[in-house]
Amino acid sequence: MFDHNRYVSPDLCYDREGRPFQPQGQYFVGGATKRFGAALYRLRREDFGQLRHHDGLPRPIRYEEMEPYCTMAEQMYHVRGLRGRDPTEPGGP
């Protein structure tokens, strides 16, 4: 797939001086990667905790440590959906 640039978009972008460049956008199922679409889920308390890795057990990160950053990210990325509607969602401001 990548060896022959099979799914590279022929579309050009232009820099500030108007010079064209090819940003190597890829077309796949669902569209081109130049148009980023994402689902940003609210993290749950259960999403944090001890995970076993091949190198051993790292110190687990607790939800309470990350909650302020999760809330900040929700605001930055305009996460949609009303708090309080989902009975499985964590607490928060």
Over the Cα atoms of the chain, what is R_g? 20
Supply the pTM of this predicted model: 0.46
pLDDT < 70 stretches in the chain: 1-3, 27-39, 90-93
Domain ranges in the chain?
Answer: 1-35, 38-93
3-state DSSP call for residue 33? coil
pLDDT at 84: 75
* Burial state string for 49-83 with b = 16 or more CB within 10 A and e = fewer than 16: eeeeeeeeeeeeeebeeebeebeeebeeeeeeeee
Q: Positive or negative, the Cα torsion across 76, 82, 88, 93?
A: positive
pLDDT at residue 20, as a whole number = 93
